[in-house]
């Protein structure tokens, strides 16, 4: 599955031009095709910005904040503060 991160939208459109009429991004299409895999939008080639609506999903927010906490070295988060 990790190989999908290196494939560009342009390449996919060559082989399946109608795909992006149904899905806004390769990320969105793969989430539907493989719902049990934990796709990360930021890992896709050319993912300078997240797909439309990406940040409205609370799980995406939690995922990115958890990664930031890990990189920064935050060891404990108290949601009541």
Domain that holds residue 39: 2-72
Asked whether residue 47 is domain-assigned, the answer is yes
What is the total count of domains within the chain? 1
Asked whether residue 78 is domain-assigned, the answer is no
Asked whether residue 50 is domain-assigned, the answer is yes
Q: State the pLDDT at residue 23.
A: 87
CB 69 within 8 A of CB 77: yes
Asked whether residue 81 is domain-assigned, the answer is no
Asked whether residue 79 is domain-assigned, the answer is no
Average pLDDT over residues 61-73: 82
Asked whether residue 53 is domain-assigned, the answer is yes
Q: Which two tokens stand for residue 68?
A: 């930031």
Asked whether residue 7 is domain-assigned, the answer is yes
Question: What would the pLDDT profile of 3-57 be if each residue is shown by its tens digit?
Answer: 999 988 888 888 888 888 888 888 889 999 999 999 988 788 776 667 777 778 8
């Amino acid at each position: 599955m990790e190989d999908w991160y290196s494939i560009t939208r342009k390449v996919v459109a060559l082989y399946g031009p109608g795909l992006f009429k149904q899905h806004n991004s390769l990320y969105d299409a793969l989430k539907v095709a493989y719902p049990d895999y934990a796709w990360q939008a930021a890992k896709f080639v050319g993912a300078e910005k997240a797909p439309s609506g990406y940040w409205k999903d609370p799980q995406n927010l939690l995922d990115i904040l958890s990664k930031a906490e890990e990189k920064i070295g935050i060891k404990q988060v108290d949601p009541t503060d």
